[in-house]
């Protein structure tokens, strides 16, 4: 029997509706500043989708677009101005940044209380210790996707492919908070499929098109595909060979329409949380 789809679009839509209703009760509309440096086509699409979501829920979006040749100091100056603004609740710097700009320095210049992406070292530290602070949007969205299945996360063995600071590591922390047993695998893991076949929950976040094949998946597992790649025909695909894996898995996320919409929905949640705290 083929796997059931986990419809990220529908789950995200319900979350955005909840955010919209809550915003209507606030004295002031939340405001999100989106900073983009350069002309990266993928970044432009992501920024456009974020701004569209802001409009839908009632968040004021301020777009700060800077030319590719902008200096790191100029960008840091922009962030300092946004930090100081009493009307800005969230600051998001769209990655990747041009090679001449130190992304770590830029992300750590953002006021942790406005760090709605959850990338600042202060919020990362909170995530690894108390579990408080802003949670990175993609892992937070994946937890919501898992809760939409009929699986109880507690006690399950979750295997993560990838150890990035944006998805892999925070994903492990959030799953631990839900009382899953967590294994992180990566490019140096030996006998990788031995680990993936043990997974009740398999999160693929390595950026390699159709890398996860049916023989790597435990029958009935929940498979979350974070990847956003192009296949040999230039068609959008994830890190999972969906057509093959859906015959083995119990639940699976599509690409597109799975994790992507959830990332943006959780950004709206974080911006609302910041606005409520500040108001």
> Same domain, yes or no, for 147 and 247?
yes
- Of 48, 49, 58, 46, nearest in space to 17 by CA: 58
The DSSP call for residue 2 is P
Q: Does the residue 59 lie in any domain? A: yes
Q: In this structure, are residues 192 and 224 in contact, taking their beta carbons and an 8 Å threshold?
A: no
Active site members? 50, 94, 117
pTM for this model (two decimals): 0.96
> Same domain, yes or no, for 167 and 206?
yes
CA triple 207-41-102, angle to 5 deg? 70
Q: Does the residue 15 lie in any domain? A: no
Q: In this structure, are residues 90 and 274 in contact, taking their beta carbons and an 8 Å threshold?
A: yes
Question: Would you state the pLDDT for residue 60?
Answer: 98
Flag whether pLDDT at 1 surpasses 80: no
66 confidence band (pLDDT: 50, 70, 90): very high
Distance of alpha carbon 39 from alpha carbon 169, whole angstroms: 29
Say which CATH number the domain at 90 has. Answer: 3.40.50.10860
Q: What is the mean pLDDT of residues 129-134?
A: 93
Q: Does the residue 117 lie in any domain? A: no
Burial class of 140 by CB neighbour count within 10 A (0 to 12, 13 to 18, 19+):
buried
Residue in the structure block whose two tokens are 């956003």: 228
- Of 218, 254, 263, 255, nearest in space to 5 by CA: 254
Domains of the chain: total: 2
> Across all residues in the chain, what is the average pLDDT?
97
């Amino acid at each position: 029997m083929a796997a059931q789809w986990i419809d990220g679009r529908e789950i995200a839509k319900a979350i955005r509706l909840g955010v919209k209703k809550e915003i209507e009760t606030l004295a002031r509309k939340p405001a999100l500043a989106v900073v983009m440096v350069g002309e990266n086509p993928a970044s432009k699409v992501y920024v456009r989708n974020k701004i569209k979501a802001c409009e839908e829920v009632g968040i004021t979006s301020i777009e700060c677009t800077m030319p590719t040749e902008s200096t790191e100091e100029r960008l840091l100056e922009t962030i300092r101005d946004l930090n100081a603004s009493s009307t800005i609740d969230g600051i998001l710097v769209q990655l990747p940044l041009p090679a001449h700009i130190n992304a770590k320095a830029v992300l750590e210049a953002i006021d942790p209380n406005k760090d709605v992406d959850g990338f600042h070292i202060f919020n990362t530290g909170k995530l690894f210790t108390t579990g408080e602070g802003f949670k990175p949007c993609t892992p937070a969205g994946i937890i919501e996707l898992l809760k939409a299945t009929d699986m109880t996360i507690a006690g399950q063995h979750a295997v993560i492919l990838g150890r990035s600071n944006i998805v892999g590591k925070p994903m492990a922390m959030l799953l631990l908070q839900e009382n899953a047993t967590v294994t992180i695998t990566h490019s140096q893991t030996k006998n990788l499929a031995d680990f993936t076949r043990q997974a009740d929950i398999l999160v693929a976040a390595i950026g390699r098109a159709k890398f996860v094949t049916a023989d790597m998946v435990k029958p009935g597992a929940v498979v979350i595909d974070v990847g956003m790649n192009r296949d040999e025909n230039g068609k959008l695909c994830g890190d999972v060979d969906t057509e093959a894996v859906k015959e083995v898995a119990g639940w699976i996320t599509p690409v597109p329409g799975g994790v992507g919409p959830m990332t943006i929905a959780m950004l709206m949640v974080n911006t609302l949380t910041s606005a409520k705290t500040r108001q």
